[in-house]
Structure 1
Amino acid sequence: MSARLPRKLITFDWAMKRLLRSKANFEILEGFLSELLGEDIFILEILESESNKESRRDKYNRVDLKVKNCKGELIIIEVQFERELDYLQRMLYGTSRVITEHQKESQAYATLVKVISVNILYFDFGHGSDYIYHGTTTFTGIHDHDKLELDIRQQKQYGKIQINNIYPEYYLIRINNFNRIATTSLDEWIYFLKNEDIKDEFKAKGIQKAKKSFSLLSLTEKEQLAYARYQDDLRYEASLVESNYGLGRMEGKEEGIEIGIEQGIEKGKLEVANRLVEKGMSAEEAAAVAGIPVELLRN
């Protein structure tokens, strides 16, 4: 008897575009965010943003989903497939844009919205061994090395306990660094994000509903065709990026070899000229014989 093949599931980025915007599927997104953030997340609504577009050509390398939870916090989820050296700056820009979009001119700074940025990266980014990184803002004393805390009045004004609860938080999920079996409930979600497969024994919050809802077979024929086109777009874009990246490395390597050869030739000419000078030839004559500028020899 042949082994049963895993049921084909659609990718998380496609689900964010088509399925997770429905209240009927909030449970899935709540499950993923609850496991990642380490607290129960309840979504009130999906908010539209400038990058939430549907056409085939608009930013198919990135999918934005902006949600509001029951605490009034905004959570941005981005899926990124292409290499971007300035991705950290783009994360900062994204959170700053969301903050300003939701702040009215007449409102006090104390009402600034809290933003959590979740970034699912399918390319090698940065240097580090972990596959999930969490970034917050804290203030540490230069002399006493103590951590600055909010006083009681500030806690009441902001409705927050710690300073880092005011500023944006960032989660970087480096999918390529996950090369292990799922040992925690969060790992089960990361396993799905990498392998597009959910095992029957997985028990993470919301993940079994995702297995049922994300089945490719549950899509209509029209949706299946749209999903196939979307996957083709991603593969084509990835091919272009890798080709350009590889070509750039090759050209850089060849250019480096050429520069090295030229430098080696110049060094050899200089050594010849120096030996001629040692044998009594003038600097001008030695430089002329070796074919180098006399200034180079004198320096």
Structure 2
Amino acid sequence: MSKKLIRFDWAVKKLLRNKANFVVLEGFLSELLFEDIKIQKILESESNQITDDDKYNRVDILTQNSKNELVIIEIQNTYEIDYFHRMAYGVSKALSENLNIGQPYSEVKKAISVNIVYFDLGQGKDYVYRGTTNFQGLHEKDVLQLSNKQKETFTKQNVSDIFPEYYLIKVNQFNDIAKDTLDEWVYFLKNSEVKDEFKAKGLAEAKEVLDIMRLDKEQQYGYNRYLDYLHLKASEVLSLKIEAEEKVRNEKAIEVAKKAILKGFDSNTIADLTDLSLESIELLRKELKPHE
């Protein structure tokens, strides 16, 4: 029987302090990138020094894999309209901080940015997106390639192999139907549950180490605080949305009321049409009186 586990985003940093647990993140990245990923080390992450509020709001991890590539994993819980910009900034910052003074630009590492978001970002039907950089001719429409010498020197086959690569997983857009092993991971990220029949790399280990029954009282308290925080943030977003919609409705009602006043409608009729109070309508009459 499968059961609810600790949320991955809450536990992942503590989990990765132990190198023996790298297999969990390695499994996830292997399924996402369709290759066998091995993590060499966890590098310092910016959010290790930030405020408690931001720590709860997002998780960011910087790792280096066995191919000497930087892999940035960010988990964002609440809506940010400029999240695409932050993705670009995060990669740029990681690249610049990992090129030592005096090194040639050829030493700039390949960066892979993996972004797990629990809100709808952008406009699209899918729940997993991949972004790469290619150069296409404006006239010939051909894709710019590396020369043979560049392929030999940099051990890369394509221009896009040099530039950052982005992955975006919109967790809440997943329909809970796991059609492959990557879907099994997305299901787990959304529902904190590993079904008995799941076979994805790293999930069995995740199920073992994230078992909520293994939390002691202090950990339970911290975890429950985290869940409360997520509920609070979700309520704040919903409240702001409702307030914004109410404001738009009120503004439209006022516009209708003004037009009705100018056309000579009585206040009771206008109140029925707009749901505005009689007092509000009378104030609008006074406001419009000099223009009648």
The normalised TM-score by structure 2 is 0.85
Provide the residue aligned with 1:181 in structure 2.
Answer: 177
* 1:66 pairs with 2:62: yes
Deviations 1:143-182 (A, max 9, x none): 1111110001222333311111111111110112111421
1:195 to 187, 191, 196: 191
* 1:123 pairs with 2:119: yes
Provide the residue aligned with 1:50 in structure 2.
Answer: 46
Task: Report deviation, 1:292.
Answer: 5.4
Provide the residue aligned with 2:11 in structure 1.
Answer: 15
The 1:87/1:256 distance shift into structure 2, 3 A limit, reads farther
2:149 to 149, 153, 157: 153
1:102 to 98, 120, 134: 98
Alignment of 1:1-299 (within 5 A): 6-53=2-49, 56-262=52-258
Conserved 8 A contact 2:37-2:66: yes
Provide the residue aligned with 2:269 in structure 1.
Answer: none
CA distance in 1, matches of 2:126, 2:72: 22
Task: Report deviation, 1:291.
Answer: 7.0
Which one-letter code corresponds to 1:176 in the other structure?
N
Which one-letter code corresponds to 1:214 in the other structure?
L
Task: Report deviation, 1:137.
Answer: 0.4
Task: Report deviation, 1:240.
Answer: 1.5
Task: Report deviation, 1:222.
Answer: 1.6
Which one-letter code corresponds to 1:114 in the other structure?
K
Task: Report deviation, 1:48.
Answer: 0.9
Q: Secondary structure, in 3 states, of the residue corresponding to 1:199?
A: coil
CA distance in 2, matches of 1:240, 1:112: 41
The 1:264/1:51 distance shift into structure 2, 3 A limit, reads farther
CA distance in 1, matches of 2:12, 2:133: 28
Backbone CA RMSD of aligned residues: 2.1
The normalised TM-score by structure 1 is 0.83
Deviations 1:8-34 (A, max 9, x none): 201110121211332010011000000
CA distance in 1, matches of 2:251, 2:125: 32
Task: Report deviation, 1:54.
Answer: 7.6
CA distance in 1, matches of 2:261, 2:132: 53
Q: Which of these two proteins has the greater Rg computed from alpha carbons?
A: 1
The 1:169/1:222 distance shift into structure 2, 3 A limit, reads same
The 1:7/1:144 distance shift into structure 2, 3 A limit, reads same
Which runs of 5 or more residues in structure 2 are unaligned? 265-288
Conserved 8 A contact 1:79-1:120: yes
Task: Report deviation, 1:265.
Answer: 6.2
Which one-letter code corresponds to 1:90 in the other structure?
R
CA distance in 2, matches of 1:23, 1:118: 20
Conserved 8 A contact 2:46-2:60: no
CA distance in 2, matches of 1:139, 1:189: 33
In the alignment of these two chains, the number of paired residues is 268
Conserved 8 A contact 2:118-2:172: yes
Deviations 1:238-290 (A, max 9, x none): 21222123212221332233245446767x69xxxxxxxxxxxxxxxxxxxx9
Give % identity: 49
